[in-house]
Amino acid sequence: MDRFVLKFLWLDKAIAVALDQKIGERNIPLTEFYFWPQKDAWEEMKLFLEKKSWISQADVIAILNQVTEVINYWQDKDNLPNKDLSKVRAKFPDSLFVGF
């Protein structure tokens, strides 16, 4: 998954995920933000990835697994005392997080 980066928008009542492609020193957006729980962000990401034959199956699996792990972590609100994202960034160093 070295060619891709997941971006998460971490909010109180929702989490959103978007996918960028790394090209050199730049990140190029590939998707819009998919919000959970308003919609099934994991399923929307899966549908997007299935349409991109140039993304390897190994990358698809790694991306979807990471989305699952982060959403599950977000659901456990006790993980983030004082709304501090540094713990999240340390746990998932290959993803980008903004929020609150």
When pLDDT is averaged across residues 89-96 and rounded to a whole number, the result is 94
Query: pTM for the whole thing?
Result: 0.90
User: What are the residue ranges spanned by the domains of the chain?
Assistant: 4-99
With CA atoms as reference, report the closest residue to 61 among 70, 75, 50.
50
Q: Which residue has the tokens 């929020």?
A: 99
CATH fold for the domain made of 4-99:
Enolase-like; domain 1 (3.30.390)
When pLDDT is averaged across residues 43-67 and rounded to a whole number, the result is 97
78, pLDDT greater than 80: no
Per DSSP, 81 falls in state G
- The 10 Å Cβ neighbour count of residue 73 is 17
6, pLDDT greater than 90: yes
Sort strands 4-10 and 26-29 into parallel, antiparallel or unpaired. unpaired
**Element holding 26 (H helix, E strand):** strand 26-29
